[in-house]
Structure 1
Amino acid sequence: MAMLFVEMQTHDGHEGLGLSYSKRAGGPGQFAHAAEIAPALLGEDPSDIAKLWNKLCWAGASAGRSGLSTQAIGAFDVALYDLKARRAGLSLAKLLGAYRDSVACYNTSGGFLHTPLEQLLVNAAASVERGIGGIKLKVGQPDRALDIERVEAVRKHLGDHVPLMVDANQQWDRPTAQRMCRIFEQFNLVWIEEPLDAYDHEGHAALAASFDTPIATGEMLTSVMEHGDLIRHRAADYLMPDAPRVGGITPFLRIAGQAEAAGLMLAPHFAMELHVHLGAAYATETWVEHFDWLEPLFNERLEIKDGRMIVPTRPGLGLSLSEQARAWTREKVEFGTRP
């Protein structure tokens, strides 16, 4: 995994921290694109966040308005919101207008396909004991019977009261997805995630219309327009936008507005340190994904209690980079002059 961080300072001493990421290839490309467009921010008013998003977008428009180019913009956009909230003395959630002080959370990192079944049961029980509210399991094995066995075993182990989700990571074709969704109806799942290719909106819509178990998707989409197409097709019950992937908080809020108008539930993907704030600012109850992968990068930790993630009350994101993050830094570049 590669992380892209933006540390921003104004002439009067205010600071902001932003982030984006790439789980596989693309990190060096994000960094290179960010370095090219960063000078466009110099001399601008940091309060004009939407204007600055557009300026950064057009500075790199020849690279496109989705994917890697907007993911690079995302780090600047998050930093601008963090700066604005810090300057106001508010958490990011409060700046945006929070509906709640905590969000429901679920664990993914204990349920990967390579995890043996016995360890899967141990991991799931440990997460519940820790106070995490739900458990998500990866499915999509070549042998579908293994998927069924694992889901059935975890449901029996945890009981009916623990929220349980599954994630196929786009591994099924339409006939397989129909069969598996039908079989999984018996397990009272919160959702079935990415049963089909991320861009198969018609296929996802057919599943959403056919089954009681909600369909969740959206994490792989990288623009407001792509999410708009998904919403118009009614292709999800749970929308799963990823703020860094779509270009930051500015486009995320546009997506969330469309989702709310369509009556969809929201479950932002990954980056819990950011999404805990954005989830708290959505009109209806949200789920936020608990991944502890990024914890070594920050000095602060999120609090989990009674199945919920507590929204930090510190100004902005409430985060500062750790010494470990700085030690792992491979490339950096600086623009402008320090105040």
Structure 2
Amino acid sequence: MAKIRSIEIRFVDLQPTVKRTDAIQSFVSQETPIVTIIDEDGASGTGYTYTIGTGGTAVMRLLVDNLAPVLIGTDAAMVEARWRQLKMFTHATTPGAITALALAAIDTALWDLRCRKAGLPLHVMAGGAQERVPVYTTEGGWLHIATEAMIEDTLAAKARGFRGAKVKIGKPDPKEDVARLEAVRAAVGDGFEIFTDANQAFRVDEAIRRARLLEPLDIGWLEEPLVSDDIEGHVRLSNATTLPVAVGESIYSAATFREYLARGACSIVQVDVARIGGITPWLKVAHLAETFNIAVCPHFLMELHVSLCAAVPNARWVEYIPQLDPITREGMRIEAGAAIPSPAPGLGIDWDWDAIARVAVADPVTIQ
């Protein structure tokens, strides 16, 4: 065990390679704070977090001004203790998006450091439950994409071995959503999963009506139909439809997941490692979902989630949305429609530091 000697913090702003829109917003950029923790042995671990275009500088200020200085001189091996220390230190701003995102950058760096010193990949260190996890794509299903183009992209994904695709919904006329989904199903045939995502666009009455229109299509799930803090609304919807209801990308505390699960308000958990506050709480949510016999299908961050999904037995899908390609040397490995976690010690992300330096918004900050 060794104490933390210094922490380096970088900030890059990555632009999506394709236009991304849903029922409530556009994904204009991925603001990406990157944290590297160096211990007294000279070993290092790197983690990161993200936003979809706003709030990244607020996360950076919290990291630089508050969280990183607190960790200097503390034991890097005590990852749970470090997470709880920072959670208590920020108790006045938790649970909340900015704090959770900042905690995630540090926690993922500590896990990377722990795994590297142990000589083990994350998926083994955190559980070692699976060797591969099925993958589905979201990149061809954005709301603005014409039906014909969406069909073309989905057929291409199927030909590449993908086992499913997600289609964004939330057109003003719900029958237009249905028509788009029917067209995709007719093109890809049976045996290929189709998921839907409303991105919190509906109220309860509308969600129930739309869900009933979607039921004959046998979709894999209805994702984020309501605002994420409306647990009672999700209970009513879950009781009113046969569709699996998926939630999680906009939930920032394990306690909220507990309420969803205990009240039968969802049937798929999509916990996001950055938005929940790191690997430490992500694993708790995944294991909690397992006790309810519910699958974990995390949101975004495929480069990190592939290892976490392989670590737990109830992970069912990895979502394909590539975003780290410009700043990594090697992308996520996919074989026969399944994502394969990296065997390398650490998180399994091969950072390209020269590329990071080229796209960095500012010079790195070092806390000692």
Query: What CA distance in whole angstroms lies between the structure 2 residues aligned with 1:133 and 1:298?
Result: 25
Residue pair 1:280, 1:286 contacting (<8 A) in 2 also: no
Letter matched to residue 34 of structure 1: L
- Count of aligned positions: 336
Quick check: 238-247 or 274-283, which moved more?
A: 274-283
Verify: 1:329 aligned to 2:329, yes or no. Answer: no
Letter matched to residue 32 of structure 1: R
Letter matched to residue 95 of structure 1: M
The two structures have a TM-score, normalised by structure 2, of 0.88
Aligned residue number for residue 81 of structure 1: 111
Query: What CA distance in whole angstroms lies between the structure 2 residues aligned with 1:290 and 1:48?
Result: 32
Query: What CA distance in whole angstroms lies between the structure 2 residues aligned with 1:204 and 1:91?
Result: 37
Aligned residue number for residue 39 of structure 2: 10
Query: What CA distance in whole angstroms lies between the structure 2 residues aligned with 1:182 and 1:79?
Result: 44
Say what the alpha-carbon RMSD is for the aligned residues: 1.3
Residue 326 of structure 1: CA displacement? 2.2
Residue 305 of structure 1: CA displacement? 1.6
Query: What CA distance in whole angstroms lies between the structure 2 residues aligned with 1:325 and 1:235?
Result: 41
Quick check: 98-107 or 198-207, which moved more?
A: 198-207
3-state SS, counterpart of residue 245 of structure 1: coil
3-state SS, counterpart of residue 358 of structure 2: helix
Quick check: 66-75 or 317-326, which moved more?
A: 317-326
Aligned residue number for residue 299 of structure 2: 269
Aligned residue number for residue 178 of structure 2: 148
Aligned residue number for residue 301 of structure 1: 331
Residue 316 of structure 1: CA displacement? 0.9
Query: What CA distance in whole angstroms lies between the structure 2 residues aligned with 1:15 and 1:164?
Result: 41
Aligned residue number for residue 90 of structure 1: 120
**1:183-222 CA distance string (max 9 Å, x none):** 2111121111111121221222222233332110111011
Residue pair 1:104, 1:285 contacting (<8 A) in 2 also: no
Residue pair 2:286, 2:314 contacting (<8 A) in 1 also: no
The two structures have a TM-score, normalised by structure 1, of 0.95
Aligned residue number for residue 89 of structure 2: 59
Query: What CA distance in whole angstroms lies between the structure 2 residues aligned with 1:33 and 1:197?
Result: 26
Residue pair 1:276, 1:288 contacting (<8 A) in 2 also: yes
Residue 82 of structure 1: CA displacement? 0.8
Residue 285 of structure 1: CA displacement? 4.2
Quick check: 41-50 or 222-231, which moved more?
A: 222-231
Consecutive unaligned residues in structure 2, runs of 5 or more: 1-29
Verify: 1:38 aligned to 2:78, yes or no. Answer: no
Aligned residue number for residue 25 of structure 1: 54
Aligned residue number for residue 180 of structure 1: 210
3-state SS, counterpart of residue 43 of structure 1: coil
Aligned residue number for residue 254 of structure 1: 284
Query: What CA distance in whole angstroms lies between the structure 2 residues aligned with 1:6 and 1:285?
Result: 27
Residue 297 of structure 1: CA displacement? 2.0
Letter matched to residue 3 of structure 1: T
Residue pair 2:208, 2:241 contacting (<8 A) in 1 also: no
Residue 142 of structure 1: CA displacement? 1.0
Residue 240 of structure 1: CA displacement? 0.7
Query: What CA distance in whole angstroms lies between the structure 2 residues aligned with 1:172 and 1:162?
Result: 27
- Runs (4 or more) in structure 1 with deviation over 4 Å come to none
Mapping of residues 229-244 of structure 1, within 5 Å:
229-244=259-274
Query: What CA distance in whole angstroms lies between the structure 2 residues aligned with 1:87 and 1:24?
Result: 34
Residue 233 of structure 1: CA displacement? 1.9
Query: What CA distance in whole angstroms lies between the structure 2 residues aligned with 1:109 and 1:324?
Result: 24
Residue 63 of structure 1: CA displacement? 2.9
Letter matched to residue 318 of structure 1: G
Letter matched to residue 4 of structure 1: P
Quick check: 317-326 or 191-200, which moved more?
A: 317-326
Query: What CA distance in whole angstroms lies between the structure 1 residues aligned with 2:313 and 2:332?
Result: 22
Aligned residue number for residue 278 of structure 1: 308
Query: What CA distance in whole angstroms lies between the structure 2 residues aligned with 1:262 and 1:224?
Result: 14
Match of 2:220 among 152, 177, 190: 190
Residue pair 2:104, 2:279 contacting (<8 A) in 1 also: yes
Query: Identity over aligned residues, as a percent?
Result: 34
Query: What CA distance in whole angstroms lies between the structure 2 residues aligned with 1:114 and 1:90?
Result: 42
Residue pair 1:65, 1:223 contacting (<8 A) in 2 also: yes
Query: What CA distance in whole angstroms lies between the structure 2 residues aligned with 1:316 and 1:285?
Result: 20
Letter matched to residue 277 of structure 2: G
Consecutive unaligned residues in structure 1, runs of 5 or more: none
Query: What CA distance in whole angstroms lies between the structure 1 residues aligned with 2:162 and 2:43?
Result: 35
Verify: 1:216 aligned to 2:251, yes or no. Answer: no
